[in-house]
Every structure is written in C-alpha cells, then in structure tokens.
Amino acid sequence: MNTKRAWIVALATIFAGIALALVQNKVAPCMTTLQSAFGIDMATAGWLSSLFSLVGIVMAIPASIVLNKLGPKKGGIIALVCAVAGSLIGVMTTSIPVLMASRVVEGIGVGLMSVIGPSIIAMWFPETKRGLPMSIWAAYQMGAQAIMFFLGGVLTTNFGWQGMWWFGLAACVVALVFYVLCVKSPRPEDSYADVESEDVSLAEGMKSPYAWIMSAVTMLFCIGCFGFVNWIATCWSQIFNMSEGDANMWVGYFSLGGVIAAIIVGALLNKIRNRKMFGAIALALFGVVSVWGMNMGNPMFLLPFVIIYPFVDASFPCVLWTMTAQTVKKPELAGVALGVVSIGFNVGILLGPPVIGAVVDAAGWTIASWVILAVCVASAALLMFVKQYAADGSDA
C-alpha cells in the first residue's frame, strides 16, 4: 500500500464531497430570503432541498454503472461539472422552475459522488485501514452544514441568496482542479476493491441481501437523524423562547463538532474488531441523546449537549461507510453495495423531516423524540443481521 498516495487521493476526494455538500446544503440557511425573492411558499421552498434526495434515490444504481464503466476519475469529474453547471444556471435565473431544474442538475453530481467517493477510498485502503479515511468521508455532510449555517447570514446579507450559490460554485471549481490533479485509480493488482473490473456484475451486487439490510438500517437511521436535525432548532426556539438565528447557531456548533468527532471515531475504528456491535450501540445512543435534546428543560444543558451529540451523530455513519464495502462477497462489487445503501440513505433523508414534523404537529416534541428513539433502536437491531465478508469472500 502506497500510504502517501492513498491519502492524497482520499483527501482530494473528500474535498470534492465537501464542495458538493456545500451546494446541497445552501438552501436552508437562506430559505426566508429565497421565499421573498421568488414569492414562493414554504412547501415550494422545501422542494429546493428535497429534490436532492429524490435525485439521489434515482441516481444510486446508475452511479454504480458510471463508476464501473468510466472509472472514479471521469465519474468524479462529471459529478463536479454537474454541480458547477447547475450552480451557474441557478445563480443566473429569476425563474423558480429553472431554479428547480438547476437543483436537479446539481443533485446528479451529488448522487454520483455519494457512490464514487467511498468507492475510491475502498480501492486505495485495505479493510483494516479504512476506518479513519471513511470516517473523515462520513463527516463531509456535517462539515458542509456547519459551514453553510455559519456563513449563511453573512453571505445572504451582503449578496442575497446568490451569495450562497456563488460560494458553492467557487468551492466546486477549486475541488474540480484538485480532483483532476490528484485523483487516480490504483493499479488493478494494488486495488483493494477493483470496482472498475470487467467482472463486476450489477445484478450480482444487487442480489446481496446484506447490502439491502444495510440500506434499510441506513434508512431508519436517517429518518431519525435528519428528522432530529431538521427540527431541533425550531424545538429550541419554542422551548427556550430564543430567536431562530440563535438556535441555528447551536446547530452549527454541533455540526462542526461532528467533524472532529468523526476523525476521533475513525481513528478508534481502526482498532475495533467488532464494528457491527459498535455501530448498534451508537445507533441506540443516538436515539437516547435525541430524547434528551428535545426534552431538556433548561438552556444551560445546551453546551454539554453540543459536546456529546456530535459523537453519537458521527459514530454510525463512520461504521456505515466502513462496513458497506464488505456486505458483498467480492471486493469489486463494493460500488454496487454503496449504490444500494445510497438508496436507503436518500429515502431516509426524504422521509425524516416530514415524518417527524407530522408527529410534532400531532403529538408534540416529547412523542416525536420517542419516535426517533424507536426508529434508532429498530435500526440497531437490524444492523446485527448484517454479514460482512473479507477480501477473499470468506466471513469477516
């Protein structure tokens, strides 16, 4: 293993993921400004975010095909070009249908990279060394969320909603340059997951029951996680009578903390043999901490919460991306497995906010928190049925 080269490739790939996630997460921090600029209601504005999940579901398996036929370098370049093109179309328009269409173009890029990114890492790192790079990859969404929540007010105040678009566009252009210069596939004999092999069978990969179980585990977790993250600022603003801006800052703090937590958990994962059990415990703890977050009676608990929450939030995604490549018998099928899991990931993101929001409307914050706990416990139980394979196809 060429450790230096592997890390150069991994970090360029992770930076590309962050740039694409900035594009994905640019809507929420300027939602009010967008509504005013385009004269749209909350439901229409919400679709500017939800479209990404729908595109991600549609793109999950095609992304595996692109990865296999074109390779990770060309596939990643296409992903970043889609984000650049979509951002340019969006920032220049005054039409909401065109803006929606531009978000679909951007979503294609994010959908491609969500499969290509972890596949590249799986190619360059053996199973025992994937914990840290996969965990850093797992933090790319949290890092992007934190950046956009922190910068959203400044960019929107000075440049309108277009400021968020230009920022994401600039990040993708820089990421594209680094990706072109730094990313390449290892030689087939040195690859730990040769997803470019002509022997890759999409049908065989999709027949793996453990990839689909992991997809279901991921869907349940994302329903709880994104349901919590989407509504916790609203919860705190109501319970503690604070402004939405102040509540959003606390969300930004624990999103930023999630990046640090992911790196720590990733280093720990390289030492842990039973990653499945670690993931199940992390899922259950996420549910418990979510109950605490939605039911704390005093704002003095916000500080300890934003210190503890990032670790339970980051732990399962770190396990997820590390384990998924091993849910298929052949390493070259890792890209297909990641595509299958991406379906569950995006379905969970799509369902989480409206499902938990409906529970809050019907029964209040406490019941909603218990629903999140129940979903996470079910996810933990289901994870125990996932089987892992070693590189030679034997049980891990």
End-to-end CA distance of the chain: 21
Specify the amino acid at residue 142.
M
CATH 1.20.1250.20 domain locations along the chain:
1-184, 201-388
- The 10s digit of each residue's pLDDT in 236-278 is 988 898 876 688 788 888 888 888 888 888 888 878 778 899 9
Q: Please state the pTM of the whole predicted model.
A: 0.80
Residue 56: name the closest of 112, 118, 133, 129 by CA: 112
Burial of 211 (0-12, 13-18, 19+ CB in 10 A): buried
SS3 389: strand
Instruction: State residue 43's pLDDT score.
Output: 63
3-state secondary structure of 299: helix
Helix (H), strand (E) at residue 259: helix 244-269
Report the interhelical angle of 244-269 vs 209-239 (nearest 10°): 150
pLDDT at 199: 63
Q: Out of 3.40.1440.10, 1.20.1250.20, 2.40.128.20, 2.102.10.10, which CATH number does the structure's domain 1-184 have?
A: 1.20.1250.20
Sequential pLDDT tens for the chain (396 residues): 678 899 999 999 999 999 999 998 888 777 778 878 888 776 677 677 777 778 888 888 888 788 878 888 999 999 999 999 999 999 999 899 999 999 999 989 988 998 899 889 988 988 778 888 888 887 887 788 788 877 877 888 889 889 999 999 999 999 999 999 999 988 877 777 766 666 666 667 677 899 999 999 999 999 999 889 878 888 898 889 887 668 878 888 888 888 888 888 888 887 877 889 999 999 999 999 999 999 998 889 999 999 999 999 988 988 887 888 888 887 777 778 888 898 998 899 888 888 888 888 889 999 999 999 999 999 999 999 998 876 555 555
The CA-CA-CA angle for residues 243, 245, 247, to 5°, reads 75
Other CB atoms within 10 Å distance of the CB of residue 184: 16
Place of tokens 């999709």: 206
Question: Within a 10 A sphere around the Cβ of 58, how many other Cβ atoms?
Answer: 16
pLDDT at 171: 96
Q: Pick 201-388's CATH classification: 1.20.1250.20, 3.40.33.10, 3.90.700.10, 1.20.200.10.
A: 1.20.1250.20
Q: Considering just the CA atoms, what is the radius of gyration of the chain in Å?
A: 20
